[in-house]
Amino acid sequence: MPIQRKKFELSPNLKLGVGRGRSNKILKYGAIFSLGLAVILAANAIRLVYRGGATAGPQITPQVLGATDIKAPSAPNPTPAIIPYRVGKGDTLFNISQKFNVTWTTIATLNNLKSPFSLKPGQILQIPQ
């Protein structure tokens, strides 16, 4: 005897996705709120672009390099003080850099040290302050 299958037919409300209770209303109102917020933000961005920026805060006038006739006094170029340091037994670039709060690459560059950056006891290094 063959198996008979019954066909179920959904009501029109279920076919359209209606009748799910409050969650459907929440989604609908949330989508409307999000769309309204997006429209407001886009309108505000367009307004800022066409009006030349925000209205609140100090107004900054654009400056063109070389447009002024008055030269500002230039600050003297301070040269960092150099401290001579005598390398002791067991000293490494890393340990010395930790003592003086300077990177080891700065010390190596200033003293023209090449890889493998080996130091000899008694060697004098220049350390920037």
In sequence order, which ranges of the chain are alpha helices (DSSP H)?
12-16, 22-51, 93-100, 104-110
pLDDT for 30 equals 84
- Evaluate if residue 52 carries a pLDDT over 90: no
Single out the residue of 77, 82, 87 nearest to residue 129, CA to CA.
82
Roughly how many angstroms between the first and final C-alpha of the chain, as a whole number?
99
Q: Assess if residue 33 is contained within a domain.
A: yes
Tokens in use for 105? 């690459």
Q: Which domain holds residue 41?
A: 15-51
- Evaluate if residue 23 carries a pLDDT over 90: no
Instruction: Quote the number of domains for the chain.
Output: 2
Single out the residue of 74, 110, 76 nearest to residue 93, CA to CA.
110
Query: pLDDT band at residue 74, thresholds of 50, 70 and 90?
Result: low
Rounded-to-integer distance, Cα 47 and Cα 38, Å: 14
Q: What CATH code is carried by the domain that includes residue 116?
A: 3.10.350.10
Q: Assess if residue 3 is contained within a domain.
A: no
pLDDT for 124 equals 93
Q: Assess if residue 75 is contained within a domain.
A: no
Decide if 86 contacts 96 (C-beta within 8 A). Answer: no
3-state secondary structure (DSSP) of residue 107: helix
Q: What is the mean pLDDT of residues 55-72?
A: 63
pTM of full prediction above 0.75: no
Select the more confidently predicted residue: 129 or 108: 108
Q: Assess if residue 74 is contained within a domain.
A: no
Which runs of E-coded beta strand occur in the chain? Answer: 82-86, 124-128
Q: What is the mean pLDDT of residues 109-117?
A: 88
- Evaluate if residue 20 carries a pLDDT over 60: no
- Choose the weakest-confidence range: 62-66, 68-72, 83-87: 68-72
Q: Assess if residue 6 is contained within a domain.
A: no
Segment 85-111, tens digit of pLDDT: 999 999 999 999 999 999 999 999 999
Which residues have C-beta within 8 Å of that of residue 88, sequence separation ≥ 6?
121
- Evaluate if residue 44 carries a pLDDT over 70: yes
